[in-house]
Amino acid sequence: MNPIENFRAGYIAVVGLPNVGKSTLLNRLLHFKISIVTPKPQTTRKNVLGILNAPQYQMVFIDTPGILEPRYTLQEKMLKSVKSAIADADVLVYMVDAAERRQAPQEVQKQMALTQNKAVILALNKIDLLEKRQLLPLIEQYSKIHPFKAIIPISAEKSDGLGQLLEEIAKNLPFGHPFYPSDYLSDQQERFFVAEIVREKIFKLYGEEIPYSCHVEIEEFREAAPSPEEPQEGKDYIRALILVEKPSQKGILIGKKGQALKKVGLLAREEIEAFLGRPVFLELFVKVAEDWRRKEGLLRRMGY
């Protein structure tokens, strides 16, 4: 294959604290919902790849879990996947919630030790929630703590400043061939996205304990029903297993007469059908796997 003159291609890791808007940014850049988004922190558990193709470049974005101090084995795995994404990346986009100011610039400076001397672009997110007079002093503060390639104010939610962010990323990518065909949006299979959609609905419908205790696996995914007598005839059949850590959590998740779980299934099915572009028959089952977030062997089997 001949080199492509003036074509850039590379990996971009999107990193930062939990709930600063990393997944929202990726979805807006791709104009496609590839990462689930909820108001709760730590929604993203695994690195999610999203591919943006243009005539001049191919950007392979890695949406990462939020950086935090691990409290149990699952969180240790999540932090390890962040570090792996940083190691693989050509460019880093470090996101900060500029409106909430959960991180002082000095704390961001400490986290730059994780970036392994990579090219870092600082994205100050949620600027739509700031007054204009607050922005310039903030940029000045951050410019003193690290030699960022650029500091870009954005609002991922409002798609503001994203063009400038893409221009800056493109400038810092190496020249080279694309890594994926031009019609690819991700390297993940449909099963992954279906499981994530179910998990997103759990995050949105339940309180603090349940979402973090749940893991979703797709046990079966087939395209056609074997018999016209079956209710799922003419639809894709999806069987999803939801694992929880305690019997009490199973009861809460299912709800009285199964109504709570039925609502999860209804909302998930609607979004899965929109995602796949075809009708599905979705069955949800709940099983207890005690303390799964702390069990190394189980986590490995789950793909962490």
Quick one: pLDDT band at residue 231, thresholds 50, 70, 90?
low
How is residue 295 annotated by DSSP? -
How does the average pLDDT of the chain come out, rounded?
92
In the chain, what percentage of residues exceed pLDDT 70? 95
Lookup: tokens for 121: 């672009």
Least confident piece of the model among 102-111, 145-154, 253-262, 283-292: 102-111
Lookup: tokens for 56: 């001049």
Could you read off the pLDDT of 88-127 as tens digits, one per residue?
Answer: 999 999 999 998 877 888 888 888 988 888 999 999 999 9
Q: How far is CA 252 from CA 171, 203, 239, 247, in A?
A: 50, 13, 20, 9
Query: CA-CA distance, 300 to 179, in Å (whole number)?
Result: 27
* Region(s) of the chain under CATH 3.40.50.300: 8-171
Could you read off the pLDDT of 28-43 as tens digits, one per residue?
Answer: 999 999 999 998 988 9
Q: Which residues pair with 11 in a beta bridge?
A: 60
> Phi first, then psi: what are they for 179, rounded to 5°?
-90, -25
The fourth-level CATH superfamily of domain 190-301 is K homology (KH) domain (3.30.300.20)
pTM confidence score: 0.91
Q: Which residues pair with 92 in a beta bridge?
A: 13, 120
User: What is the pLDDT at residue 225?
Assistant: 54
CA 48-51-57 angle, to 5 degrees, is 145
Cβ(248)–Cβ(291) below 8 Å: no
- Asked whether residue 23 carries a pLDDT value surpassing 60, the answer given is yes
Bridge-based pairing of strands 48-54 and 57-63 is antiparallel
User: What is the pLDDT at residue 233?
Assistant: 62
User: What is the pLDDT at residue 63?
Assistant: 95
* Region(s) of the chain under CATH 3.30.300.20: 190-301
Lookup: tokens for 48: 């999610």
CATH code of 8-171, in short, is 3.40.50.300
DSSP string, the chain: ----TT-EEEEEEEEESTTSSHHHHHHHHHTS--S---SSTT---S-EEEEEEETTEEEEEEE-PPP----SHHHHHHHHHHHHHHHH-SEEEEEEETTT--S-HHHHHHHGGGGTT-EEEEEEE-GGGS-HHHHHHHHHHHHTTS--SEEEE-BTTTTBSHHHHHHHHHHTSPB---SS-TT-S-SS-HHHHHHHHHHHHHHHHS-SHHHHH-EEEEEEEESS-S-TTSTTTTSEEEEEEEEESSHHHHHHHH-GGGHHHHHHHHHHHHHHHHHHTS-EEEEEEEEE-TTGGG-HHHHHHTT-
Quick one: pLDDT band at residue 11, thresholds 50, 70, 90?
very high
